[in-house]
Structure 1
Amino acid sequence: MSVNKSILIFSSIIFLLQYTYAQQTIQQVRKLQSSPALYNAHKITEKITIDGKMEEIWAKAPWSSLFADIEGDGQPVPPLKTQFKMLWDDNNLYIYAKLEEPHIWASIQQRDAIIYHDNDFEVFLKPTPSSPIYYELEINPHNTVMDLLMPKPYRFGGQALMHWDIQNLQTVVHVEGTLNNPNDKDSYWSVEIAIPFQSLTKFGTRKTPSLNSHWRMNFSRVQWQHQLENGQYSRKKENQKLLPEDNWVWSPIGLINMHYPERWGYIYFTADSTIDSYPASYRAEKTAWNIHYLQQIHRNKEKQYAAELSSLEGYAEFLKEDLKNFDVQITVAADKSFYRVSLKEKNSTHFFTIDNHGNYTTNYEQ
């Protein structure tokens, strides 16, 4: 890793850590309430050739919903369409993404560089409900890859493991147009990906998803405005400052930060059926995280955590009805600098716990 790359990664982490306790108002929590997107990934037995093009087998996969602004409702609709398809077999997760683009350009060609300094396509995967570990993959139109492992989100002190690679990853980019040529109008670029399940396996876990199980996933497109300098594309500047990028995603987060895995969508691994329902853990997980968000607001205002959930601002709006489904236990330190909440689903053995550090445990497994 070069010195410049280390500085860029460190700067990015510091930027994200500024969001550690971003929820300071009820309005901010309200923006985190949209329902996650859901996609049905169908299992196949046929072989896929990874070439960046949408061969006939992809007709079996539905298109995802169109990408939206990362902040969700109230933001402009992206002017360029982005969608994906997914399939899977016993060995790999397959992704085909199509990104409308009249100006296809890229400059970064070094593996594990900061790919989002170009326009890019990003994949976020969290296979295990009970583990905070997740993975990130970024690809630009040069087919340059950055992949990393996150032991937990940046806002809880997680640090990106840049030396980690998805072993035997396959990616191919197809450009419908010409790369880095400003003298014509392009149509789109697409990327086809094969991610071996075994490369995401932790000790003691399955190598292949179970049928009818869910993974937490999300997809992002970073899009920069461009300018031409001596006939070459670059990120656009005004008054010597880069204009901010657009962040278009499959399942909106509610704020400009992809590293909220509890706000990602769900991928349902199926043989041939189609569902529109979330996993059994969804209600407990959403309720637990709403407790966490409201406790952050309380701590920011009162300099301590609440010992009674009913005293939280926003309790009636975000918690009162949902908590009726659970037996609730809350443990608070004497100086109220720490809390831990346990939600046990009534008439069930399922539970979800969370504390002020964002640590959680659950026995909702697929």
Structure 2
Amino acid sequence: MRSSSPPLGELLLAPWRRVVSCIFFAWWAVLAAGGVGCRSNTEPQADQASLENDVPFNANPPVIDGVLGDAWSDAFHGELRLGDGRSLPRYRTRYHLLWSASALLLAFECEDPDVSGRYTKRDEPLYLDEVVEVFLDPDADRKNYVEIEVSPRNVLFDASFRARRQGMDLAWDPPLQSAVAVDGTIDDDTDHDRGWAVELSVPFAALEGQGRMPPRPGDAWRVNLFRLDKSFGREEASMLRPAGGDFHNLDAFATVRFSAPGR
């Protein structure tokens, strides 16, 4: 009569098979979670904007010329995300924020293989083109705020609002300083561009009536940043904080706190 017991070799190998099986399934689980190998396009990054961020002080602010130098090395910085707050856009945008005794300083580095910009006059509807946008609520009351846009042609759009999408004042034309450097050509879809960079200085004097000016260390503003990319006819918006489909959604803004000098 044949025995139903497994051969001795099978008995010796069985524990090792269980070990190998456990290792395999543990490794597979790590891979499935995106923990090893290529970084997922939707994985939260360390520099992703949280609800509150510190903006460093710079006693020697950068020259506004469109060329980002060492003065930006200590800035609060990160990458704009799609509306889900996690995914990176096709063409990425890196932002930088600093402050000085007299101004809030911002910079953007925009990947863009097809740089375009139709408008040439201040306060034309730049938001219909490729643009970076800055929304500032200096007194953080979620009521009055300002909107500033810069195009690849270094054309400005600026307006103040007394409430969300109410009382837009296009006569608000403060002495902003901006500069753009384009690595490529504008409105030429026969070549392949690399992108464009923006530097922007918003003087605190231009924001009188919007809160305490100039701000003091520890003061907090509410801010959101956006970029509209329209490379090859496909529009994509990226942002600092998810806006719920409305760039003017003040409840969605991030909080930025002005750091003390030397911190």
Q: TM-score range by the shorter chain?
A: 0.7 to 0.9
Q: Name the counterpart of 1:101.
A: 112
| Aligned residue among 130, 138, 145 for 2:149 | 138
AA in 1 matched with 2:214:
T
Change (3 A) 1:132 1:209: same
| Aligned residue among 237, 250, 254 for 2:240 | 250
AA in 2 matched with 1:46:
N
Structure 2: which 5+ runs fail to align?
Answer: 1-48
Superposed displacement of residue 159, structure 1? 2.8
Superposed displacement of residue 182, structure 1? 2.5
Tell me if the contact between 1:36 and 1:263 (Cα under 8 Å) persists in the aligned partners.
Answer: no
Deviations 1:317-344 (A, max 9, x none): xxxxxxxxxxxxxxxxxxxxxxxxxxxx
Residues 1:70 and 2:76 aligned together: no
AA in 1 matched with 2:224:
N
Q: Name the counterpart of 2:207.
A: 200
Greater RCO (CA < 8 Å, at least 6 residues apart): 2
| Aligned residue among 33, 36, 41 for 2:55 | 41
Superposed displacement of residue 178, structure 1? 2.2
Residues 1:217 and 2:188 aligned together: no
Using structure 2 for the length normalisation, give the TM-score. Answer: 0.76
Change (3 A) 1:272 1:81: farther
Deviations 1:117-176 (A, max 9, x none): 11110000000034611000011100111100010012xxx13111212x2210101112
Deviations 1:79-100 (A, max 9, x none): 1111211111110111111111
Residues 1:171 and 2:202 aligned together: no
Q: How does 1:1-40 map to 2 (within 5 A)?
A: 36-40=50-54
Q: Name the counterpart of 1:128.
A: 139
Runs of 4+ aligned structure 1 residues displaced above 4 Å come to none
The sequence identity of aligned pairs, in percent, is: 26
| Aligned residue among 154, 169, 182 for 1:161 | 169
SS at match of 1:198: helix
Q: In structure 2, what is the Cα distance between the partners aligned to 1:91 and 1:78?
A: 33
Deviations 1:48-67 (A, max 9, x none): 21101111211122422x21
Q: In structure 1, what is the Cα distance between the partners aligned to 2:151 and 2:201?
A: 16
Point out the structure with max Rg over C-alpha: 2
Superposed displacement of residue 71, structure 1? 4.3
Structure 1: which 5+ runs fail to align?
Answer: 1-34, 227-235, 237-242, 275-366
SS at match of 1:262: helix
Change (3 A) 1:142 1:260: same
Q: In structure 2, what is the Cα distance between the partners aligned to 1:141 and 1:120?
A: 7
Q: Bigger shift: 41-50 or 115-124?
A: 41-50
Superposed displacement of residue 272, structure 1? 5.6
| Aligned residue among 78, 89, 93 for 2:100 | 89
AA in 1 matched with 2:167:
Q
Q: Name the counterpart of 1:191.
A: 198
AA in 2 matched with 1:247:
A
Deviations 1:185-231 (A, max 9, x none): 2112010001000100118x5321110221100001112253xxxxx
Aligned-pair Cα RMSD in Å: 2.1
Tell me if the contact between 1:37 and 1:250 (Cα under 8 Å) persists in the aligned partners.
Answer: no
Q: In structure 1, what is the Cα distance between the partners aligned to 2:231 and 2:98?
A: 32
Residues 1:261 and 2:233 aligned together: no
